[in-house]
Structure formats: structure tokens, C-alpha cells
Amino acid sequence: MDQQDFQKEMTRIEKNNKWKNRKLFLILGGLVALLVAYINISKFIKNNEEEKARYEADKTSFIEDSVWLVNVLSKQNQDQFSIDVLTSLDNRIKGNFYGSEKSKIHLLNKLISIKVTVDTGTRILDEFDKVSLVKDKTKTVLINFGDKDKYKINRIYQGFANAKNRKAHKLKLKYPYWNTNECLTVSNRRINIGMTKEMVREAWGRPEDINRTTNAYGTSEQWVYGYSYVYFDDDICTTIQN
């Protein structure tokens, strides 16, 4: 084979290789396209199944809620239903996938006419714990469910529910770095392991006697309260002996 024939043969082989590579690329591209199409079809089928399931569930819910509402409106004593129950129904109707907008508006207009009882007015709460009731100035009124947002309870933090909370509040003002539980414990004249000297002193008063011991590890103290003894290491209560 001369040089010219060799060049022709090499050119033919190169063209064949290019065609094979292009063919392989086309095959791979086709497989990728099929895979993408399969994934999209699977998602479409899954979404349709989920949508169908939600449609059927919402259909059942919408019918049940409609029947329930009709029964409620047919009763004379409608104030037996709580606002929470009706609010839940209101949310279900608004988010229902089955009912038409016209049907939902019709049901919601019926819903807002149901009578419910609500508390309204003012509650004065303990200004220390923010929970204990000092004075209740609320009243219960019968209203349409649709007017529930017009009635509310105002909360005012003023005064104290008891003498212990009053004392705890004073302690909190005096020692702002104490937490609520520490103030309450001290106001109840109780002490716990882990308290500081100032907490014990506020709870039990000044000790009758103080015995100090100094060693290589530091200074410890024994505070004497009659037949009770409180021991401190580095300002922290470590032992209570009664």
C-alpha cells in the first residue's frame, strides 16, 4: 500500500469513527430524553392522583360541613358551639378544593349568623408573674360568629394577687439579675442549694452566728439559724442542715 492509499484508508477510518461517535451521542441523547419524559409523566400521574384524592376528600368534607351547618341553623339553641369549632369550620370551607366560590360564599354567609358566647372586657393581672388574676372586669355576651373580631379581652398588668408576689416584685426591683423563680422562692422564705449569700439572707434574715474555715481550697462558711445550719463555699450554698 503506497502513501496515497494509506492516507485514503486513514481518512475513511476517521470518517467511520466520527459517524460512530455521532451515532452513540444520538443514542445517549435519545435515552436521556426518554428518561426525562418518563420522570415528567410519573410526576404528572402522581400529581393527578394526589389532586384526585384531595378532590374526593374535599368533596366529602364539603358535603359533611354543609349538612352539619344546616342542622345547626335549624336548632334554636345555637350558642352551644365554641368559637374554636366554628373557626375550624370557617377555615375548612375557605380552603376547600371541591366547592365552588359561590357555594362557599353561601355557606360562609350562613356561618357568620350562628350565635356564640364570648368574654369581653378587661382582666387585671399580677404585674409580677403576668398570670395571676387581680381583678376580673369581663362579661359574657351573645354575638354572631361573624362579629367575633370586634370583641376581645384587654389585659392590664397592675397590682398583685397576693403578698408573696408583691414581695417578689420588690426583690426583682432590688436584684434585677435574679430570675422569677428565685424571687418567688425567697419571697416564700425558702432556700435551696445553689443560692447565693444575699438570697439566703433575704429569705432567712441575718444569721445568728457565722463560722469561717479557710484552707488550701478556699474559704467556707457556716451560717447558724437556731438549730439549722447553712454552709457556703465561695459564696454559694452547698449544704443545708436542719
Mean pLDDT of 193-212: 95
Angle between helices 83-94 and 101-111 (to 10 degrees): 170
Task: Read off the pLDDT band of 234 (50, 70, 90).
Answer: confident
Q: Which three cell numbers stand for residue 153?
A: 379581652
Stated pTM of the model: 0.54
pLDDT of residue 109: 86
Q: Which residue has the higher pLDDT, 104 or 47?
A: 104
pLDDT at 115: 84
Q: Over the stretch 52-103, which tens digit does the pLDDT of each residue have?
A: 777 677 777 777 777 777 676 666 555 567 788 888 888 888 887 767 787 7
pLDDT value of position 46: 62
Instruction: State residue 204's pLDDT score.
Output: 96
φ, ψ for residue 109, nearest 5 deg: -65, -35
Q: What is the residue extent of each domain of the chain? A: 12-113, 117-161, 177-241
pLDDT of amino acid 86: 86
CATH number of 177-241: 3.30.1450
- Dihedral of the alpha carbons of 211, 215, 218, 222, in degrees to the nearest 10: -20
Q: How confident is the model at residue 218 (pLDDT cuts 50, 70, 90)?
A: confident
For the segment 136-156, the average pLDDT, to the nearest whole number, is 90
What cell does 214 get?
A: 479557710
- Beta bridge mates, 62: none
